[in-house]
A and B are shown apart, each in its own frame.
Chain A
Amino acid sequence: MASNHYLLQVRDLKKYFYREKFFSSDRKPIRAVDGITFSIRRGETLGLVGESGCGKTTAGKAILRLIEPTSGQLLFKGQNLLDLDREGLRRLRPSMQFIFQDPYESLNPRMKVGEIVGEGLEVHRIVQGRKKIERVSEILEKVGLHPGDAIRYPHEFSGGQRQRIGIARAIALNPELIVADEPVSALDVSIQAQILNLLMDLRDQLGLTYLFISHDLRIVKHISDRIAVMYLGKILEIADGEDLFRRPLHPYTQILLQAIPKLDPSTRNQEPPAPEEDHSFSIQRGCLFQPRCPHTQKRCQIEEPLLLDEGDDHRVACHFLS
Chain B
Amino acid sequence: MKTPLLEVRSLSTYFFTEDGVVRAVENVSFEIYPGEILSLVGESGCGKSVTGLSLLRLVSIPPGKIMNGEILFDGSNLLELEEREMEKVRGNDISMIFQEPMTSLNPVFTIGNQIMEAIELHQHLNKKEAKQKAIEVLDQVKIPSPEVRVDSYPHQLSGGMRQRAMIAMALSCQPKLLIADEPTTALDVTIQAQVLRLLKEIQRKMGMSVMLITHDLGVVSEIADRVAVMYAGRIVESGPIEAIFGQMRHPYTQGLLESIPQLKEKKKRLNAIPGQVPDPMDLPIGCKFHPRCHLMIDACKKEEPPLFHVNGNHVSRCIRWKECC
> Which A residues are closer than 8 A to B by beta carbons?
51-52, 158, 160-161, 188-194, 196-197, 200, 215, 217-219, 221-223, 245, 255-256, 258-266, 268-269, 272-274, 276-277, 279
Residues of B at the A interface (CB closer than 8 Å) are 43-44, 158-161, 188-194, 197, 215-219, 221-224, 241-242, 245, 255-263, 267, 269-274, 276-277
Extra contacts besides A52-B159, A245-B263, A279-B158 (18): CB < 8 Å: A52-B188, A189-B43, A190-B273, A192-B259, A194-B272, A196-B272, A200-B269, A215-B188, A217-B189, A221-B263, A259-B189, A262-B222, A265-B224, A268-B222, A269-B222, A274-B190, A276-B160, A276-B194
Q: Per a CB cutoff under 8 Å, which of B219, B263, B270, B276 touches A158? A: B276
Contacting residues, chain A, for B259 (C-beta < 8 A): 189-190, 192-193
Q: In the complex, how many angstroms separate the beta carbon of A264 from the nearest chain B beta carbon?
A: 6
Instruction: Verify A191–B263 contact, CB threshold 8 A.
Output: no
In the complex, the chain B residue whose C-beta lies closest to that of A160 is: B276
User: B281 to nearest A CB, angstroms?
Assistant: 14
Q: How near does chain B come to A192, taking the closest CB pair, in angstroms? A: 7
Interchain Cβ contacts under 8 Å between A and B, 8 examples? A51-B190, A161-B276, A193-B271, A196-B272, A255-B190, A256-B189, A263-B260, A273-B193
Residue on A nearest B243 in the bound complex, by CB: A265
B189 & A265 in contact (Cβ 8 Å cutoff) = no
- Identify the closest chain B residue to A144 (Cβ): B274
A222 in contact with B261 (CB, 8 Å)? yes
Contacts of B272 in A (CB 8 A): 190, 193-194, 196-197
Which residue of B is nearest A262, CB measured? Answer: B221
State A218–B219 Cα separation when bound (angstroms). Answer: 14
Most buried by A among B190, B222, B267, B274: B190
**Chain A contacts of B257 at CB under 8 A?**
263
Given A256-B189, A260-B189, A265-B241, residue A188 in contact with residue B222 (CB < 8 A): no
Cα of A125 to Cα of B189 in the assembled complex, Å: 45
Complex Cα–Cα for A261 and B259 (A): 15
List of B residues within 8 angstroms of A272 by Cβ: 197
What residue in chain A is nearest B191 (Cβ atoms)?
A276
Residue of B nearest to A198 (CB): B272
Given the complex of chains A and B, what is the CA–CA distance between A258 and B43 in angstroms? Answer: 25
Contacts of B193 in A (CB 8 A): 258-259, 261, 269, 273-274
Q: How far is the CB of B295 from chain A (nearest CB, A)?
A: 16
Across-interface contacts of A189 in B (CB, < 8 A) = 43, 215, 217, 256, 259-260
**A263 contacts which of B159, B218, B242, B273 (Cβ < 8 Å)?**
B218
User: Within 8 Å CB of B218, what residues of A?
Assistant: 260-263
- Cβ–Cβ contact A219 & B261, under 8 A: yes
Is the Cβ of B267 less than 8 Å from the Cβ of A223? yes
Residues of B within 8 A of A262 (CB): 218, 221-222, 263
| Bound: A262/B272 CA distance, A | 20
B192 nearest in chain A by CB position: A259
Q: Are B241 and A222 in contact (CB under 8 A)?
A: no
Give the docked Cα–Cα distance between A303 and B197 (Å).
34
Whether A264 touches B190, Cβ cut-off 8 Å, given contacts A193-B270, A222-B261, is: no
Candidates A52, A260, A273; contact of B263 at CB < 8 Å: A260
The 10 A-B pairs of least Cβ separation, nearest first, read: A261-B218, A222-B261, A193-B272, A193-B259, A51-B188, A188-B43, A259-B193, A193-B270, A190-B273, A273-B193
Q: Which residues of B contact A160 (CB under 8 A)?
A: 276
CB-nearest residue of chain B to A219: B261
| Residues of chain B within 8 A of A192, CB atoms compared | 259
A264 touches B221 (CB 8 A): yes
Contact A263 B192 (CB under 8 A): no
Residues from chain B with a CB closer than 8 A to the CB of A223 are: 267
**CB nearest neighbor in B for A257:** B263
CB neighbours (8 Å) of A217 from chain B are 189
Q: A256-B190, A261-B219, A262-B221 are in contact. Are A190 and B242 (CB under 8 A)?
A: no
Docked Cα-Cα span, A233 to B267, in Å, equals 29
| B44 & A273 in contact (Cβ 8 Å cutoff) | no
- Alpha-carbon separation in the docked complex, A215 to B187 (Å): 11
Q: How far is the CB of A216 from chain B (nearest CB, A)?
A: 8
When chains A and B are docked, how far (Å) is the Cα of A160 from the Cα of B272?
13
Taking CB atoms, residues of chain B closer than 8 Å to A245 are: 263
Residues of A within 8 A of B262 (CB): 218
Whole-angstrom CA separation of A136 from B158 in the bound complex: 45
CA distance A127 to B267 in the complex (A): 36
How many Å lie between the Cα of A223 and that of B193 in the bound state? 24
Residues of B within 8 A of A52 (CB): 159, 188
Q: Is the CB of A51 within 8 A of B189?
A: yes
Minimal Cβ-Cβ distance residue in B for A223: B267
B221 touches A221 (CB 8 A): no
- Find chain B residues with CB under 8 A from A261 CB: 193, 216, 218-219, 221-222
> Within the assembled complex, what's the spacing in Å between the Cα atoms of A160 and B159?
28
Name the contact of B270 in the complex, choosing from A196, A215, A258, A268 (C-beta under 8 A): A196
> When the two chains form their complex, are residues B158 and A277 in contact, meaning their CB atoms are under 8 A apart?
yes
